[in-house]
Structure 1
Amino acid sequence: MPPKVKKPATPSNTNAIEDTKPIIQQGPPGVFRRLAVIVYDSFLLFAVLFVATLIPAYILSPEMFAAKPANDSVVHELNIPMQGWIYRVYLVALIILFYGWFWRKSGQTLGMQAWRIKLESVSGGKPSWSQCVIRVLVAGVSFTAGGLGYWWIWLDKEGRSWHDLASKTVLRSIPKDKKKA
């Protein structure tokens, strides 16, 4: 059977016209979809932070990575610089870069792609770097405050969280693609 060729858009061929329509986006996602995205993304973020921690650990304490005799005891201590504020700032910067890169590239992290959620600025475009930084920092505050920033979407008429409001961004649900027969 020969492959099907798409016909040019004409009034009698409405399927071709439907293919060129932009993706219709629905309202904001609920709390549980947002939390599912957080769980999904946390696995990837954990791996990134794990590797990012190995780099300074190796630079600061290469002897920890050297082969040791079998009877040597294991020491579970980090080097002192790995416990300070510089290390914490390094990790926060990596978290901001992680989310910022995904949001600036396509508006979606891997978890957001899986759960069909997209981040946009209020004007409808991609969020700026300053919006990404504000969003990550306020999301951290939202989370550490017992999740109040996330639960806030039940009180807000437009379903926005604290970090949506602070960064002037919105999350949109993307509908499933309908399979074509």
Structure 2
Amino acid sequence: MHIPFPDSPRVLRPASLARRLLAMIYDTLLVVALWMVLGAVAVGLNGGEAVTGPQWKTLLFVATYLFFAYFWTRSGQTLGMLAWNLRVQSTAGGHISWTQSLIRFIVAGPSLALAGLGYWWMLLGDEKLTWGDRASGTRIVQLEKKKKA
């Protein structure tokens, strides 16, 4: 189901690679903070002992996905994207689905692991789409700065 953004102007330009990377750095710091909170809770529940194993890695993976998917599906912006005036949206210009967010999240791993090739790819095309954008049917756009009243 296509749900358009109410404030969408006619055409938004694609986000630059630099802004995307800066937003990623910001969001990485937030995810590390989330992991630290989860780690503190897990250690407390584990009697002060370190928490390891596949269940712990799965919890971190799911928590990280939920962090991104919640923001992407709700407002189209993580806190890092908000700081850099970026928004992820469907190619039709509306909110993305949980499925699209999962595809974006899964494709981000190989995109980064291959020396960032999935992100550098955007420099080759006019549409400025990364592997995650192409795979999920989404795009990241640069929003206009809000005018102060």
Change (3 A) 1:160 1:91: same
* 1:49 corresponds to 2:35: yes
Deviation at 1:88, TM superposition (A): 1.4
State the match for 1:59 in structure 2: 45
Distance 1:22 1:134 in 2: 26
The structure with more radius of gyration: 1
SS in 2 for 1:118: strand
* 1:163 corresponds to 2:149: no
State the match for 1:36 in structure 2: 22
Distance 1:162 1:110 in 2: 22
State the match for 2:93 in structure 1: 124
* 1:140 corresponds to 2:109: yes
SS in 2 for 1:56: helix
Change (3 A) 1:130 1:155: same
Change (3 A) 1:32 1:56: same
Deviation at 1:26, TM superposition (A): 2.3
Which of 122, 127, 135 lines up with 1:153 in the alignment? 122
Deviation at 1:178, TM superposition (A): 3.9
Deviation at 1:179, TM superposition (A): 4.6
Segments of structure 2 that go 5 or more residues without pairing to the other structure are: 1-5
RMSD of equivalent CA atoms: 1.8
Question: Which range is displaced more, 158-167 or 51-60?
Answer: 51-60
Which of 69, 91, 94 lines up with 1:100 in the alignment? 69
Pairs aligned (count): 143
Among the aligned pairs, what percent are the same residue? 36
Higher relative CO (CA 8 A, sep ≥ 6), structure 1 or 2? Answer: 2
Segments of structure 1 that go 5 or more residues without pairing to the other structure are: 1-20, 65-77
SS in 2 for 1:176: coil
Which of 123, 141, 149 lines up with 1:172 in the alignment? 141
Give the letter aligned to residue 170 of structure 1: R
Give the letter aligned to residue 111 of structure 2: S
